Amino acid sequence: MGSPMKLERDALQPGAKTVEAAVSVAAAAPVRRKTVFRMLLSDAGSCVALALVVLAILCAALAPWLAPTDPFGNDLANTLKPPGEMGLLGTDGQGRNMITRLLFGLRTSLLMGLASVVFGCTIGGIIGFSAAYYPKASGVLMRFMDILLSFPAILFGLAIAAIFGPGLPAVIIALTIATVPLMARVVRGSALVVLQQGYIEAARSLGLSDLRIILGYVLPNCLSAMFVFITLRFGQVILLGAALSFLGLGAQPPTAELGAMAADGRNFLFFAPHVSVLPSLVIFAVVLAFNVLGDSLRDALDPKLRK
């Protein structure tokens, strides 16, 4: 598995897999939701990925009720206990229960990813639709997106942390900025395909407003591509957020976050490896699940790939 910086560089290239996968869906014929769901359930890998995603969301949502102890309660008399002692998964360097910390760390990582994806995709979607529908604005908007694409999210995180200080808001802002140009490209490419259809010309001839055409005709036909991109991007954002937190730019103690937890345990790696290994395994499982689910959605929504 490549480093977070390499993954981000790959995702930001003009021919990135994430953008190409999403845009290719836009040109495909519409697929019924029941057919997509049936295809997902017929594949063992996508079933496992979907189950992991649902499990992660449930664990994050129910963390306050599932956690056996206080996530911030220290027990310095029982630090670095191995799995099986003082709880099923042991304790960390402050004597805190690892199960509790993992639940709340997963909750923080998913919320951070959700906020970044929602903000980034909303802003990027508006820019993408505007660039596709108004050709005169396309040059300026997309050149600005190209400028943003030339900077990795790690660099945005460093710059924003230097201005506002490290913390979750800095990471969310950095990941949002990194997501905007990618979403803009996906939406613009998808919208350009839809705008070539005859019913768009019919809607214009009827005198419908631009906003009504975009919201009523263009947006619904771009949702499949957008959903594929969001699913793939969510895993990338979680990985990048964990990398920024590992570097000390994200969640600050005592907040539980998977990347920060992995960083906290690096000093104990040889005699208490579970402190770093467990959150790293959770990051790996969640990111892999979102990537597999996104690939499965792309395959189900694109008839060319199904053939």
Please provide the DSSP assignment of 149-163 as one string.
Answer: HTS-HHHHHHHHHHH
Q: Residue range 26-32: average pLDDT?
A: 52
What is the tens place of the pLDDT at every residue in 113-155?
999 999 999 999 999 999 999 998 999 999 999 999 988 888 8
pTM of the model: 0.87
The per-residue pLDDT for 304 is: 55
Give the rounded percent of residues in the chain with a pLDDT score beyond 70: 87
pLDDT grade, residue 37 (50/70/90)? Answer: confident
* Structure token pair of residue 253: 């103690």
- Distance in angstroms (rounded) separating the CA atoms of residues 245 and 243: 5
Identify the DSSP state of 206.
T
Please name the residues in contact with 164: beta carbons below 8 A apart, sequence gap of 6 or more: 170, 173
The per-residue pLDDT for 71 is: 92
* Structure token pair of residue 294: 């996104």
Please name the residues in contact with 143: beta carbons below 8 A apart, sequence gap of 6 or more: none
The per-residue pLDDT for 11 is: 41
3-state secondary structure of 83: coil
Q: At what angle do helices 135-149 and 168-195 cross, to 10 degrees?
A: 140
- Distance in angstroms (rounded) separating the CA atoms of residues 98 and 84: 11
> What dihedral do alpha carbons 117, 122, 128, 132 form, nearest 10°?
140
pLDDT grade, residue 5 (50/70/90)? Answer: very low
Q: Using the structure block, give the residue that is written with the tokens 């290719």.
A: 24
* Structure token pair of residue 141: 């908007």
Q: Is the pLDDT of residue 19 over 80?
A: no
Residue pair 300/33 in contact by the 8 Å Cβ criterion:
no
Q: How many residues does the chain have?
A: 307
Residue pair 191/137 in contact by the 8 Å Cβ criterion:
no
Give the count of beta carbons closer than 10 Å to the beta carbon of residue 6.
11
Phi, psi at residue 46, to the nearest 5°?
Answer: -70, -30
Sign of CA dihedral 5, 113, 255, 63: negative
Residue pair 92/101 in contact by the 8 Å Cβ criterion:
yes
Residue spans of the domains in the chain: they are: 4-73+106-306
- Distance in angstroms (rounded) separating the CA atoms of residues 92 and 276: 9
Residue pair 123/112 in contact by the 8 Å Cβ criterion:
no
The per-residue pLDDT for 230 is: 95
What is the tens place of the pLDDT at every residue in 274-307?
999 999 999 999 999 999 999 888 888 765 555 5
pLDDT grade, residue 15 (50/70/90)? Answer: very low
Identify the DSSP state of 82.
P
Within 196-302, residue ranges assigned H as helices are 198-205, 210-213, 219-246, 258-264, 274-301
Q: Is the pLDDT of residue 69 over 50?
A: yes
User: Does domain 4-73+106-306 sit in CATH 1.10.3720.10?
Assistant: yes
